[in-house]
Structure 1
Amino acid sequence: MFFLWLFASIKTPNLAVAAELQEIVERGYLIVAVKDNVRPLAFRDGEGKLQGLEIDIAQRLAAELLDKPDAVKLQPVANRDRLSVVVDGTVDLTIARVTQNASRDRLVNFSIPYYLDGTALVTQDASLQRLNDLQQRKVAVLKGSDTISTVRYLIPQVQLIGVDSYEQARSLLESGNADAFAADASILSGWVQEYPQYRLLPVRLSGEPLAVVMPKGLQYNQLRQRVNDVIARWKREGWLQERVKYWGLPQSDTNRF
């Protein structure tokens, strides 16, 4: 009896946990972590309103799960917090340009992909049309990024120039000290929209599927299944492809993943 009393008297910490689907339905709205500075996936327009492909997905997903328009609270997050806010239950889902990998799989679950991102090239040099055109040419890449090995593998004779930021890359392109810039296609699509003198080369160097981040645990199976079913239906009906085109992103085939 003493041990039972001792066990019952121990105060356990209040651990935050993610909400299950039924809890979300009873609450009446979905909480989704998003980016607010990644055009055209998720960004603020001139009036400060959140816009973009991932914002469309978050809003429509909430409407599908709760049968109510605008039943969503969008919470902008930094890159470093995109997974942790799901793990600690601050949000229900994250839709913020997250790709799946083995280390992330240990912390969270992922939906089927809603967009295939990957390394692309942007330039304002009309003579550059194919990858071979970049042999012996200067290509800017972000220092420490996975893009470096991708570009070097596919264009062995390229001259890589490391940069610390997108702005530094644009400065090199403007001054003629770089012929192209390699980075994620989704980011470079926003670049082209902001600086129309540039264009994307019609080739993708790699494929990185973007997916919805969801909590781990058997209790979340119903939520995960509903999210996956909805995304799969959007693909069949063409809604996702239409929104990708609307936001000026390169078309992608997520059915391969």
Structure 2
Amino acid sequence: MFSQCRFAAVLAAAAILSTTAAEAQPAKSKLDDVLSRGRLVLGTGSTNAPWHFKGADGKLQGFDIDMGRVIAKALFGDPEKIEFVTQSSDARIPNITTGKVDITCQFMTVTGERAQQVAFTIPYYREGVGLMLKANGSYADYAALKAAGSSVTISVLQNVYAESMVHAALPQAKVDQYESVDLIYQALESGRADAAATDQSSIAWFMTQNPGRYKDAGYGWNPQSYSCAVARGDQDWLNFVNTALHEAMTGVEFDFYAASFKKWFGVDLAPPQIGIPVEFK
């Protein structure tokens, strides 16, 4: 009886040790899966220039698309080793949590609520609201608009926060709301509005498409960060993507990042300062 009890105890101890050892084994990272597959599966949109949209050749292009190519190049040495899954904005988080995509890069604003569902990468762009003026218009810049007070009319996309958003920058301005971005630009062009208020990236893109006709008023507000997103709980994968994006903005892939920024936003970026990394100054 004693030997049987001792044998049972040994079996139980072995089972415990086996379970503990299994639990100690690190879970396989998405990084390993992507490398084994040989391509990155990226979730993004297809209808919002300059972020993600189809060109004349039917292929996706835009700043989000370029950020995906940055990650693909870091993975495989080839920015073309990427598969795009086009998705609506509502599908951005579900497609990550269900594993349909490896990562989403789709002008996704970082919020605390979303960060409870997905893991955000470091930001690759800081968005904000800006004001676009006609190059030959009555107002030179933001200071002139603000000084004009209630005589200024601002066109803006219709939404429940539109008026308060504009008044945060121009407290006395008249606010005219329109149902589409095209209409707010038309109001500016026709003279019904003195300035158009919209995302600064949209202003930059519109100005690159219409050189010399418009100008930025030189003031931005309502900042928000755009980041890619991956599934929670996979630090190796998150670290890798962060490294790829970080080095695009500050290191070995800066030329690619800067060329993309210039193409889509019309802005020449100053190269990263040599010496102590700027993030540690």
Q: Give the alignment partner of residue 150 of structure 1, picking from 165, 179, 190.
A: 165
Does 2:264 correspond to 1:247? yes
SS at match of 1:116: strand
What corresponds to 2:105 in structure 1? 95
The structure with the largest strand share of the pair is 2
What corresponds to 2:215 in structure 1? 199
Q: Which amino acid aligns with 1:59?
A: R
Rounded to whole Å, the distance in 2 between the matches of 1:148 and 1:81 is 29
Q: Which amino acid aligns with 1:29?
A: R
The within-5 A match list for 1:47-86 is: 47-86=57-96
SS at match of 1:107: coil
Percent same amino acid at aligned positions?
24
Larger Rg: 2
Does 2:126 correspond to 1:116? yes
The structure with the largest helix share of the pair is 2
Kindly indicate whether the alpha-carbon contact (under 8 Å) linking 1:119 and 1:147 is maintained by their aligned counterparts in 2: no
Count of paired positions: 236
Rounded to whole Å, the distance in 2 between the matches of 1:250 and 1:151 is 25
Kindly indicate whether the alpha-carbon contact (under 8 Å) linking 1:117 and 1:185 is maintained by their aligned counterparts in 2: yes
Give the deviation of 1:168 after TM superposition.
2.0
Q: Which amino acid aligns with 2:99?
A: G
The within-5 A match list for 1:185-224 is: 185-196=200-211, 197-217=213-233, 220-224=234-238
Kindly indicate whether the alpha-carbon contact (under 8 Å) linking 2:71 and 2:79 is maintained by their aligned counterparts in 1: no
Moved more, 244-253 or 206-215: 244-253
Give the deviation of 1:152 after TM superposition.
0.8
Moved more, 91-100 or 140-149: 140-149
What corresponds to 2:190 in structure 1? 175
Does 2:121 correspond to 1:107? no
Rounded to whole Å, the distance in 2 between the matches of 1:116 and 1:215 is 22
Rounded to whole Å, the distance in 2 between the matches of 1:132 and 1:225 is 43
Moved more, 153-162 or 37-46: 37-46
Rounded to whole Å, the distance in 2 between the matches of 1:131 and 1:247 is 23
Does 2:58 correspond to 1:43? no
Q: Which amino acid aligns with 2:262?
A: K
Q: Give the alignment partner of residue 246 of structure 2, picking from 194, 219, 232.
A: 232
Does 2:174 correspond to 1:159? yes
Rounded to whole Å, the distance in 2 between the matches of 1:199 and 1:37 is 25
Does 2:147 correspond to 1:131? no
Q: Which amino acid aligns with 1:223?
A: W
Kindly indicate whether the alpha-carbon contact (under 8 Å) linking 2:70 and 2:248 is maintained by their aligned counterparts in 1: no
Question: Any stretches of 5+ residues in structure 1 without a counterpart?
Answer: 1-18
RMSD: 2.4
Moved more, 147-156 or 85-94: 147-156
Rounded to whole Å, the distance in 1 between the matches of 2:200 and 2:239 is 29
Under a length normalisation based on structure 2, what TM-score does the superposition of the two structures give?
A: 0.76
Give the deviation of 1:156 after TM superposition.
0.8
Under a length normalisation based on structure 1, what TM-score does the superposition of the two structures give?
A: 0.82
SS at match of 2:198: strand
Does 2:31 correspond to 1:21? yes
SS at match of 1:98: strand
